[in-house]
Amino acid sequence: MSCYRNGIKCMLLLFFMGLAALNTYSYWRDSLNVNTLNTSMHPEVIVEQSPSTTPFQCPFESWNQVHSDIVPNENLHLEWIQNNISRRDNILESQIRLLSSFVYPDHISIITNSQRSYGQKVYCRYFNCLREEISNSSYQSIFFPMNVIRCPRRIGVKYMSISFDSEEIPQEPIPLVYRVFEVFNMNEYSRKIIDEYLRTGEIELTVIQSEYKTIDWQFHLLQINECHQRSKHHSKWVINVDIDERLVILDDKIKSVGSLLSGYNNTVAEVGFAIRRIQKTEKLPEKYESDEQIISEMEFLKYNVSSPVSWGAYKTIYRPEKIAAMYYHWAYQRYPDTVAEYVKSEIALFRHYRSTEKNILGSGWLTDPNYKNFSIVSEETKLAEKLKENVLKKIKYVYDPRVLYCEEIAEIPYEEYKEFGHDIFNCTFRNETGSNKSAD
Ligand SMILES: *[C@@H]1O[C@H](CO)[C@@H](O)[C@H](O)[C@H]1NC(C)=O
Ligand SMILES: *[C@@H]1O[C@H](CO)[C@@H](O)[C@H](O)[C@H]1NC(C)=O
Ligand SMILES: *[C@@H]1O[C@H](CO)[C@@H](O)[C@H](O)[C@H]1NC(C)=O
Ligand SMILES: *[C@@H]1O[C@H](CO)[C@@H](O)[C@H](O)[C@H]1NC(C)=O
Ligand SMILES: *[C@@H]1O[C@H](CO)[C@@H](O)[C@H](O)[C@H]1NC(C)=O
Ligand SMILES: *[C@@H]1O[C@H](CO)[C@@H](O)[C@H](O)[C@H]1NC(C)=O
Ligand SMILES: *[C@@H]1O[C@H](CO)[C@@H](O)[C@H](O)[C@H]1NC(C)=O
Ligand SMILES: *[C@@H]1O[C@H](CO)[C@@H](O)[C@H](O)[C@H]1NC(C)=O
Ligand SMILES: *[C@@H]1O[C@H](CO)[C@@H](O)[C@H](O)[C@H]1NC(C)=O
């Protein structure tokens, strides 16, 4: 839905993958936020100047008074591990770096960057607000799925780490957070639009500092697992799609993806959607030049050569608590007593504006029998018009800065300008420009 609403992401950020989460299920987050406002998640620790007999006490937080002895479903996970369910080892010599850690009512998840640790033994290590290890707290756990470690809860824990034996000095702990956007590689120009979405609160960001100079597409699975764990007890549904895909609701009676999903009862763990692949024959422009350029480059206006509807690489919207392990597009393993449902393609589907470039991952699909019977399927006009306006507005807000005219400078600073010279204001006189075109 995020992609659907914010077409700009589809326009500009093709080179990394985004996973969007619906914020409709926020009881856990809300209860945490209340506490967070009261006692900060990162309390300022005031170091006393003079020696004192009363040591600093970490704040008491009602949400953080939970101790549990077990990890939910651990036996089931062990059974799946024995059968290699969802196993996909890779990058066999990588370091094991900590990415993030999330707290839920009955457990904690730690997410790492390791694609090679499936089923391995590992110790959860717990730290208080001063990053001091909580005594007698460590727990022997296991990696499942791929890069995820689950740990029981401990009272007062604020930072988590791991070690491979219980005596070893653990890695530098990372904060426990409760709150999607994941970034591996991005240039400064693209980062500007990410910052804009952060500003408006439409996304959250996880920056993955990789040890490698380059990464390949399979690192995507690390991110899928991170998004999955991040969303548990926070978002009721997670849309597991890439930035070049857009959900389209074709049935007029259904007003939003929310109302579509609310039709499914609590046993439904994932909802599958068919795909139409639309040929995206050119690259997006590197930079904003003009409104005309952006309008002519908007994918949903520019491209309309579509494959037939396909279930070949269908995509899902899923309930994070009900899924044990995700694969690229769908759940590899659901927890027991759940079902998957599939939406009829006449009701809704994803349009995938897929590159036709040669020699890239998944190239050659133009001649694939599943896709090759192409036809023209145009975008629904009303939606396209609205999306066009919103995309343009957002792009211009971020990428269309204007010239600073010296005439805008008020009298007093202007006096300083005269004293210190042109450079300190870096402005342009109207009579020097000839036009008002932006400099960049
Ligand atoms: C902080 O929490 C306590 C107990 O939960 C409450 O009595 C107090 O009013 C809260 N303070 C603020 C500033 O919200
Ligand atoms: C699981 O995968 C590992 C590594 O590829 C392999 O050594 C092992 O035999 C597999 N076990 C089963 C039950 O397939
Ligand atoms: C350490 O924790 C375990 C399990 O929580 C408990 O059984 C044991 O008594 C504790 N030991 C000490 C010294 O507190
Ligand atoms: C819940 O939905 C599933 C699948 O849509 C269906 O099979 C099941 O009967 C429903 N259960 C109830 C209690 O309505
Ligand atoms: C190709 O698509 C057209 C229009 O969608 C359809 O009428 C035709 O039967 C299809 N042909 C094949 C071989 O699938
Ligand atoms: C399909 O796209 C082409 C190129 O953008 C355009 O000229 C044509 O009018 C479109 N056709 C339909 C039916 O939307
Ligand atoms: C003035 O702006 C230009 C273009 O953005 C920049 O390269 C330059 O460093 C600026 N000069 C000062 C003094 O800020
Ligand atoms: C433009 O205007 C400024 C301020 O009025 C003046 O100092 C400057 O000489 C003018 N430049 C040109 C090229 O006319
Ligand atoms: C420059 O901007 C002013 C208002 O800021 C406008 O009146 C004028 O027409 C613009 N000139 C050009 C050449 O675009």
- What pLDDT is recorded for position 364? 85
Give distance in angstroms: CA of 268 to centre of ligand 4.
Answer: 8
Domain boundary residue, one of 167, 200, 234:
234
- What pLDDT is recorded for position 177? 60
Residues with CB under 6 A from ligand 6: 302, 304, 376, 378
- What pLDDT is recorded for position 41? 38
- What pLDDT is recorded for position 182? 55
> Is 158 domain-assigned?
yes
Domains of the chain: total: 3
Residue nearest to atom 1 of ligand 4 (CA): 265
Ligand 4 atom at shortest distance from the alpha carbon of 339? 4
The verdict on the CB of residue 263 being under 6 Å from ligand 4 is no
> Is 142 domain-assigned?
yes
Ligand 6 atom at shortest distance from the alpha carbon of 379? 14
Long-range contacts formed by 378-387: CB under 8 A, 24+ apart:
378/304, 379/300, 379/301, 379/304, 380/248, 383/248, 384/300, 384/301, 387/7, 387/298, 387/300
Give distance in angstroms: CA of 304 to centre of ligand 6.
Answer: 6
Ligand 8 atom at shortest distance from the alpha carbon of 432? 13
Residue nearest to atom 13 of ligand 2 (CA): 83
Specify whether 334 is located in the same domain as 425: no
Residue nearest to atom 5 of ligand 5 (CA): 375
Specify whether 69 is located in the same domain as 101: yes
Specify whether 386 is located in the same domain as 416: no
Over the stretch 295-334, which tens digit does the pLDDT of each residue have?
Answer: 999 999 999 999 999 998 899 999 999 999 999 889 999 9
- Hey, how many other C-beta atoms are within 10 angstroms of the C-beta on 30? 10
Specify whether 197 is located in the same domain as 256: no
Contact 99, 78 (CB under 8 A): no
Closest-approaching ligand to the CA atom of 401: 7
Give distance in angstroms: CA of 282 to centre of ligand 9.
Answer: 35
How far lies 53's CA from each of 48, 56, 57, 157, 387, in Å? Answer: 11, 10, 12, 24, 63
Closest-approaching ligand to the CA atom of 434: 9
What's the start-to-end Cα distance of the chain, in Å?
A: 32
Peptide bond into 55 cis (omega under 30): no
Residues with CB under 6 A from ligand 9: 435-436
Specify whether 245 is located in the same domain as 362: yes
Do β-strands 238-239 and 206-207 pair in parallel, antiparallel, or remain unpaired? unpaired
> Is 10 domain-assigned?
no
Give distance in angstroms: CA of 147 to centre of ligand 2.
Answer: 17
Residue nearest to atom 7 of ligand 7 (CA): 426
Give distance in angstroms: CA of 193 to centre of ligand 7.
Answer: 22
Tokens describing residue 359? 């020699």
> Is 7 domain-assigned?
no
Domain boundary residue, one of 234, 249, 284:
234
Specify whether 363 is located in the same domain as 319: yes
Specify whether 217 is located in the same domain as 294: no
What is the domain extent for residue 183? 38-234
> Is 381 domain-assigned?
yes
Specify whether 285 is located in the same domain as 263: yes
Closest-approaching ligand to the CA atom of 265: 4
Q: Which mutation among 402, 403, 406, 426 tests ligand 7's pocket best, with the greatest number of atoms within 8 A of CB?
A: 426
> Is 5 domain-assigned?
no
Closest-approaching ligand to the CA atom of 408: 9
Closest-approaching ligand to the CA atom of 422: 7
3-state helix/strand/coil string of the chain: CHHHHCHHHHHHCCCCCCCEECCCCCHHHHHHHHHHHHCCCCCCCCCCCCCCCCCCCCCCCHHHCCCCCCCCCHHHHHHHHHCCCCCCCCCCCCCCCEEEEEECCCCEEEEECCCCCCCCEEEEEEECCCCCECCCCCEEEEECCCCEEEECCCCCCCEEEEECCCCCCCCCCEEEECCCCEECCCCHHHHHHHHHHHHCCCCCCEECCCCCCCCCHHHHHHHHHHHHHHHCCCCCCEECCCCCEEEEECCCCCCCHHHHHHCCCCCEEEEEEEEEEEEECCCCCCCCCCHHHHHHHCHHHHCCEECCCEEEEEEEEECHHHEEEECCCCEEEECCCCEEEECCCCCEEEEEEEECCCCCCCCCHHHCCCCCCCEECCCCHHHHHHHHHHHHHHHHHHHCCCCCEHHHCCHHHHHHHHHHCHHHCCCECHHHHCCCCCCC
Residue nearest to atom 10 of ligand 7 (CA): 426
Specify whether 224 is located in the same domain as 369: no
Domain boundary residue, one of 234, 252, 277:
234
Over the stretch 45-77, which tens digit does the pLDDT of each residue have?
Answer: 344 444 445 667 888 888 899 999 999 999 999
Q: Which mutation among 282, 299, 378, 379 tests ligand 6's pocket best, with the greatest number of atoms within 8 A of CB?
A: 378
Give distance in angstroms: CA of 175 to centre of ligand 2.
Answer: 34
Give distance in angstroms: CA of 381 to centre of ligand 6.
Answer: 12
Specify whether 193 is located in the same domain as 110: yes
Q: How far apart are CA 346 and CA 344, in angstroms?
A: 5
Residue nearest to atom 12 of ligand 5 (CA): 373
> Is 75 domain-assigned?
yes
Q: Return the amino acid letter for 32.
A: L
Contact 416, 409 (CB under 8 A): no
Specify whether 375 is located in the same domain as 437: no
Q: Each residue's pLDDT tens digit in the chain (440 positions)?
A: 333 333 333 222 222 333 333 332 333 333 333 333 333 334 343 444 444 456 678 888 888 999 999 999 999 999 999 999 999 998 888 888 888 889 998 999 999 989 899 999 999 999 998 889 999 999 999 999 999 999 999 999 999 999 998 888 787 777 666 444 555 567 889 889 888 887 766 777 777 777 888 777 777 888 899 889 988 877 889 988 888 899 999 998 998 888 899 899 999 999 999 999 999 999 999 999 999 999 999 999 999 999 999 998 899 999 999 999 999 889 999 999 999 999 999 999 999 999 998 878 778 889 998 899 999 998 777 888 989 999 999 999 899 988 888 888 888 888 888 888 777 778 888 887 665 454 44
Ligand 5 atom at shortest distance from the alpha carbon of 373? 1
Specify whether 181 is located in the same domain as 308: no
Ligand 7 atom at shortest distance from the alpha carbon of 423? 13
> Is 44 domain-assigned?
yes
The verdict on the CB of residue 339 being under 6 Å from ligand 4 is yes
